[in-house]
Structure 1
């Protein structure tokens, strides 16, 4: 691996800096928490749920190895949604404890912070695979048609579309995902590969909600991805599919002392445009 410095690095007081002691204090038995809801996501389906700021939610493997495709929006303004590519640049291509998922422009703020990961020790395997990736995106019926010439309705994109419709969102709101429990990497040709999911029953990825959220998760119809979805050996991987669960926890107020929800970027420079009708200094003060 290259030892070249990362392009995006945290300076003193940067929003990239994470108070690890605070987020560690929210893990497991470190803080008093109350389970307020459990969402069961059947195999090959998807569901959406809301999480208030200052709450924790956990995505959990409830039966057997299974990949999940995750989307996220500001509950009050779905124009602000998870930005996978910027999160990949600001954090890393495969995320784990203390990494954050960031929102789109013009907001650009952390939406969640990962506080616990039962697969944190997986690291990089012999083939270069790592888990919880921001490299790829959801499977969809359009790419399936492109690659196979056939219609196949079981895809994460379709699951997410159905999941968010009751919340007033549409297919146009579904976006690039965090692939939870998915093991991926880049091969010697710099091409994306997927491996069988290493997660086992009881494994989890846990998030702290920095703002009020609408979340959605697809229980991937590819199951644990041990069966090729495309190519000469492709077949329907139904036998490798399992459900997932999401648990939502409320923290005691004392656990959140000193925490404040993140503000938007604050940039109000007008993109180099000048207008006598816009008071940029007044806008900056309001932000």
Structure 2
């Protein structure tokens, strides 16, 4: 029987996923970016790597049937299905306190880097570093001259990305709390998402 988990707005969630198990990240409201990580459960020093994946796939975004690779160039997650327009970011680092200061925010701001650490801590784990995440539903178009743009998501309410674990892993999800740029919709409101384990 499928099991559903909610990732609260502005927070993170870590789940253990067995090899061969699939899960779906459901953009409940259609506008929420979800920073996503995967770590080898047996060795947290091996994790999903966007730079290794781009080199392996020879493109910026995976297509259904493609595998995201670890920093040891092994398949760690396979993209099984995607009902969204398929626009997901593999370039942008997780937000952190330094990013919000750079944008002019004063004081503490919730961020994906701390959400990753807190979610893993709830399982008694710690990240060896903060890998660049797979930013599901994040729309960062780029121009031929190299310019990047922080645009609103193209996803709609209920759009989902289904991934299959290629090894026993710990997956971490963060509802990105960025509310100073329109990456979570023009209203900059952070919302919850759903994780469905198949």
TM-score by length of 2: 0.89
Instruction: Give unmatched runs, 5+ long, in structure 1.
Output: 1-33, 124-130, 229-236, 250-287
Within the candidate set 129, 138, 142, 1:182 is matched to 138
Ranges of 4+ aligned residues in structure 1 off by more than 6 Å = none
Asked if the contact 1:50–1:215 (Cα under 8 Å) also holds between the matched residues in 2, the reply is: yes
Asked if the contact 2:48–2:68 (Cα under 8 Å) also holds between the matched residues in 1, the reply is: yes
Within the candidate set 38, 54, 69, 1:102 is matched to 69
Query: Could you tell me how far 1:151 is from its partner in structure 2?
Result: 3.0
**Structure index of larger Rg:** 1
Task: Tell me whether 1:210 sits opposite 2:166 in the alignment.
Answer: yes
Counting matched residue pairs gives 196
RMSD: 2.3
The 3-state SS of whatever aligns with 1:148 is coil
Query: Could you tell me how far 1:171 is from its partner in structure 2?
Result: 5.4
Query: Could you tell me how far 1:194 is from its partner in structure 2?
Result: 1.7
Q: Which has the higher contact order (CA 8 A, sep 6+)?
A: 2
Which residue is 1:234 aligned to?
none
The 3-state SS of whatever aligns with 2:182 is coil
Query: Could you tell me how far 1:187 is from its partner in structure 2?
Result: 3.2
Q: Which structure carries more helix by proportion?
A: 1
Asked if the contact 1:64–1:242 (Cα under 8 Å) also holds between the matched residues in 2, the reply is: no
Query: Could you tell me how far 1:212 is from its partner in structure 2?
Result: 0.4
C-alpha change, 1:224 and 1:38, in structure 2 (3 Å) is: farther
Query: Could you tell me how far 1:227 is from its partner in structure 2?
Result: 6.5
Asked if the contact 2:49–2:68 (Cα under 8 Å) also holds between the matched residues in 1, the reply is: yes
C-alpha change, 1:240 and 1:63, in structure 2 (3 Å) is: same
TM-score by length of 1: 0.63
Matches within 5 A, 1:132-281: 132-148=88-104, 150-170=106-126, 172-187=128-143, 189-222=145-178, 226=182, 240-249=189-198
Within the candidate set 11, 14, 25, 1:45 is matched to 11
Residues in 2 aligned to 1:97 and 1:208: alpha-carbon distance in whole angstroms:
11
Query: Could you tell me how far 1:191 is from its partner in structure 2?
Result: 2.9
Residues in 1 aligned to 2:158 and 2:23: alpha-carbon distance in whole angstroms:
15
The 3-state SS of whatever aligns with 2:6 is strand
C-alpha change, 1:63 and 1:223, in structure 2 (3 Å) is: farther
**Residues 5-60 of structure 1 deviation map (CA, whole Å, 9 limit, x = unaligned):** xxxxxxxxxxxxxxxxxxxxxxxxxxxxx41x211001111110011011101000
Which residue is 2:52 aligned to?
86
Instruction: Give unmatched runs, 5+ long, in structure 2.
Output: none
**Residues 91-142 of structure 1 deviation map (CA, whole Å, 9 limit, x = unaligned):** 221223112111113xx210011010002xx36xxxxxxx112111211112
Residues in 2 aligned to 1:109 and 1:188: alpha-carbon distance in whole angstroms:
30
